[in-house]
Chain A
């Protein structure tokens, strides 16, 4: 096979799986190769690496490969966003609050991708380490990490997107063939778009939230980030599935073999184009890349259908009420009593709480806790939280209306390409507004993905968003794969990454 001659870090997930399966390289060799690249990383993508733990996992993979009992991705490396708790690595969620926190258990998604859950065998992947992110997944530039920002491999002066910025940058820079991310309001799709990789957020409830440090429980969803739809299909098949004993919001729906459903042509596929996604707020470089991509799909036989998602703009206030409300409560457990940071100087219980939380949380987290506490307060709850829930249901209904006219929806992921570090520092609202195209699918609980469709200003990557109806991940991956068969945007790597 030709791919076995490729350098290991240039191989895709599926290529590495066959390299390992065919014993062209051992899992330990593969792990060592990536660990060396990670060591040389200057983008700040990783927060914790633990070579001993990684190599021990790789040795276990080699042992399984030797006797032929390996999982479908046995020995292939992966790295996890730091909101997934892990036994072998410190888990911080990008916060000083958890600077040295080690979990006594692995998240369900981590288990499924590695050795498995409850005796059921997993995919057999080897964990390279933990990936930087915005503190408690709050942010869209990865500048809210309590430790250090992540830089975009395409241009180190720019952000990689967020909150799964470390995941996107690490995949783009070929520091890992794949990563997990979490998406609450766009945190997989937007950094995938900014870094020129492929990422998918499945239907809410598809992947277990057990072991994912909660930001906004009704929105948080795990998903894979890799270079291609083909790789994402392999990873998503391994990540999904019911976890009813541990997560009450987990859907009782068996996972699918998404890889087997990539080959269908897009001929006759109706792609809905929401007019609200192409308004004045959309930068012209992004617009042209998206329009070109839609033309490609059209030339492959798809049919473009104009649709409307009339409450798109409302998704911003709705999201920035509901998510902070849930966050304000989810983050109450970080009080210095049981684990994590505790202030050194305090006089009584209340001062311990105040000092601990003042020191442990960053600016954006505090801002959202305060917003959330406010909208849930007596006298404001009905006007804010309840009203937001009502509009949230209407937004979901708008999508159902749209899906009577089309099979998938396509549009931009973000209004612009990646911005420069510090650009929005004095204006948190600017960050919020940039979430406009990813929030609607999050609020509706629909699957959404981002695929690279070209380059905009300063040769920065542009991602196109695909949104499907509930449980239609296979359709999204199929469309994305068909597009990637006809294009090579997903194959291009940044100079920073290729040079290493």
Chain B
């Protein structure tokens, strides 16, 4: 079910440029490191000096193969580099080498979960292709008065351009897709994912239509370099397009930029300006041949993919699909969960804790799963104590807090971690009341002190029962086991 905006269906497709994490450029040996002095990382090939020729960086191809495997795509046995011809000062050869008709990665899909109202739904975005190409340099229009500077350090940096079908129906879906894609490329390590430095740049093609109508004319929002701006830009663009149509104007195909200052998109160029790029196969580069055994070799060297790991979590730990996908947001999170689950042997409890309390704490602090104050082993130990009824789930949160704020080193050894957890439980007196005699005394007192509630319960009001449970818990200072209280109260009142 797609969500309509003022009666219009939103249609979004993405083109993402992921900068590949190779040491050297896609067709030369110059370094790709970010932030060097202008033009210090551009060699003769990058400067397009007469007589220079491109030579393929095998590492870039390998990363494209890894990506293809990660999204279940077809890896083309033969793909072709073409020249995209246009003049611009930061494009030294006067053409960009890019895969055009036959890309190396064909098809594939990206799946993710997102909240729709109260439901969590799984969404799959189909990929059209992912192709290798070189980046251009940078024009510096503001650094020199009356002149433009050219920095060719970025020229020839390897990019993987990942193109989707127009499968997204809201800005929420678009952002969720972008985050999932970001997760995949950083998980498999083909891209550092740094959006500020331009390592992961998204262009969104946005159009609107009445449900069931033909696709509307799209406008492409260029260079969205944060998830926040992405959402704002798409929302603004959708509102703008609907307004235009409602006012009787046709949408003109255009490329637009989002201005974070004003929160608006504005057109850079329209279709009339569209250049004829005179694509043709680059005669300097033979077709890229990727033999099956190369793909197999890359596959066997790759770490477990998030998708595969999530499937394993479902079968091995009997987790719901949602949990498995959430826990595989990052390698560090997944590893944290697995350690905790193995220590406590209660995967679902461990999953609840990692997705709940632990993520909440991390969100409000500066740390991540790889620098977390409470070790996964400690969390496992804590869950052991919940499961064996030593402490209640609520009390466990206090223990977690104490461990979080404790500056002593977090143990990664199960026995030591249990000792650390037990020490906190003892120090705080959080041990659950498992002595049925003491509990019975408390319950008797509560029943005696609340005759009204007892009467109401007997008259069929369930709410009164809950009030009695609450009183009993309160009287036990939270140490009573709620299940035990329930059971005992029911018995006494029957």
- Residues of A whose CB lies within 8 Å of any CB of B are 84-85, 91, 93, 98, 101, 103-105, 107, 209-214, 216-218, 244-249, 325-326, 328-329, 331-333, 335, 337-339, 349, 353, 373, 376-378, 381, 385
Cβ of B260 within 8 Å of any chain A Cβ, yes or no, is no
Q: Find chain B residues with CB under 8 A from A216 CB.
A: 283
The 10 closest A-B pairs by CB, nearest first: A332-B94, A376-B278, A218-B283, A217-B283, A211-B51, A85-B51, A333-B48, A213-B50, A378-B276, A337-B89
B136–chain A nearest beta-carbon distance, Å: 13
Q: How far is the CA of A381 from the CA of B54 in the complex (A)?
A: 24
B24–chain A nearest beta-carbon distance, Å: 12
Q: How far is the CA of A376 from the CA of B286 in the complex (A)?
A: 19
**A248 B50 Cβ-Cβ under 8 A:** no
Q: How far is the CA of A244 from the CA of B52 in the complex (A)?
A: 13
Chain B interface mostly = loop
**A249 B284 Cβ-Cβ under 8 A:** yes
Q: Mark B278-298, 1 if CB is under 8 A from A, else 0.
A: 111001111000000000000
Cβ of B128 within 8 Å of any chain A Cβ, yes or no, is no
**B51 A333 Cβ-Cβ under 8 A:** no
**B95 A332 Cβ-Cβ under 8 A:** yes
Q: Name 23 A/B residue pairs within 8 A (Cβ), A-sorted.
A: A85-B49, A85-B51, A98-B50, A107-B51, A211-B51, A211-B52, A246-B53, A248-B54, A248-B55, A248-B56, A249-B284, A249-B285, A249-B286, A325-B280, A328-B278, A333-B92, A337-B89, A337-B92, A338-B48, A376-B279, A377-B278, A378-B278, A381-B278
Given A104-B44, A248-B55, A249-B286, also A332-B85 (CB < 8 A): yes
Q: Find chain B residues with CB under 8 A from A101 CB.
A: 50
Given A85-B50, A211-B51, A212-B51, also A335-B87 (CB < 8 A): yes
**B94 A248 Cβ-Cβ under 8 A:** no
Q: Find chain A residues with CB under 8 A from B50 CB.
A: 85, 91, 93, 98, 101, 103, 213, 333, 339
**A333 in complex: contacting residue of B55, B94, B276, B278, CB < 8 Å:** B94
Q: How far is the CA of A291 from the CA of B80 in the complex (A)?
A: 46
Cβ of B126 within 8 Å of any chain A Cβ, yes or no, is no
- Bin the interface of chain B by size: 20 to 34
Task: Tell me which of B49, B51, B53, B276 has the highest count of chain A C-beta atoms within 10 A of its own C-beta.
Answer: B51
Q: Find chain A residues with CB under 8 A from B469 CB.
A: none
**Interface members, chain B 35-69 (any A CB < 8 Å):** 44, 47-56
Given A332-B85, A376-B85, also A338-B55 (CB < 8 A): no
Q: How far is the CA of A376 from the CA of B277 in the complex (A)?
A: 9
Q: Which residue of B lies closest to A331 (CB)?
A: B94
Q: A329-B280, A333-B50 are in contact. List 5 more A-B contacts (CB 8 A).
A: A105-B51, A211-B51, A213-B50, A325-B280, A339-B50
B10–chain A nearest beta-carbon distance, Å: 31
**B51 A213 Cβ-Cβ under 8 A:** yes
Q: How far is the CA of A331 from the CA of B85 in the complex (A)?
A: 11
Q: Find chain B residues with CB under 8 A from A332 CB.
A: 85, 87, 93-95
Q: Find chain B residues with CB under 8 A from A244 CB.
A: 55
Q: Find chain A residues with CB under 8 A from B95 CB.
A: 329, 332
Task: Tell me which of A84, A217, A247, A335 has the highest count of chain B C-beta atoms within 10 A of its own C-beta.
Answer: A335
Q: Find chain A residues with CB under 8 A from B48 CB.
A: 333, 338
Q: Find chain B residues with CB under 8 A from A91 CB.
A: 50
Given A338-B92, A385-B280, also A103-B85 (CB < 8 A): no
Task: Tell me which of B53, B54, B285 has the highest count of chain A C-beta atoms within 10 A of its own C-beta.
Answer: B53
**Interface members, chain B 124-169 (any A CB < 8 Å):** 150
Q: How far is the CA of A246 from the CA of B52 in the complex (A)?
A: 8
**B284 A210 Cβ-Cβ under 8 A:** no
Q: How far is the CA of A103 from the CA of B49 in the complex (A)?
A: 8
**B44 A105 Cβ-Cβ under 8 A:** yes
Q: Find chain A residues with CB under 8 A from B278 CB.
A: 328-329, 373, 376-378, 381
**A248 in complex: contacting residue of B49, B53, B89, B279, CB < 8 Å:** B53
Cβ of B201 within 8 Å of any chain A Cβ, yes or no, is no
Q: How far is the CA of A331 from the CA of B278 in the complex (A)?
A: 14
**Interface members, chain B 304-325 (any A CB < 8 Å):** none
Q: Find chain A residues with CB under 8 A from B54 CB.
A: 248
Q: Find chain B residues with CB under 8 A from A211 CB.
A: 51-52
Q: How far is the CA of A378 from the CA of B85 in the complex (A)?
A: 12
Given A332-B87, A353-B87, also A248-B286 (CB < 8 A): yes
Cβ of B83 within 8 Å of any chain A Cβ, yes or no, is yes
Q: Find chain B residues with CB under 8 A from A247 CB.
A: 53, 55
A162–chain B nearest beta-carbon distance, Å: 19
Q: Find chain A residues with CB under 8 A from B89 CB.
A: 335, 337, 349
B60–chain A nearest beta-carbon distance, Å: 14
**A326 in complex: contacting residue of B44, B279, B283, CB < 8 Å:** B283
Q: Find chain A residues with CB under 8 A from B56 CB.
A: 248
Q: Find chain B residues with CB under 8 A from A245 CB.
A: 55
A22–chain B nearest beta-carbon distance, Å: 36
Q: How far is the CA of A338 from the CA of B52 in the complex (A)?
A: 14
Q: Find chain B residues with CB under 8 A from A325 CB.
A: 280
Given A332-B95, A333-B93, A337-B150, also A210-B53 (CB < 8 A): yes
Q: How far is the CA of A210 from the CA of B45 in the complex (A)?
A: 10
Q: Find chain A residues with CB under 8 A from B53 CB.
A: 209-210, 214, 246-249
A250–chain B nearest beta-carbon distance, Å: 9
Q: Find chain B residues with CB under 8 A from A209 CB.
A: 53
Q: How far is the CA of A434 from the CA of B9 in the complex (A)?
A: 64
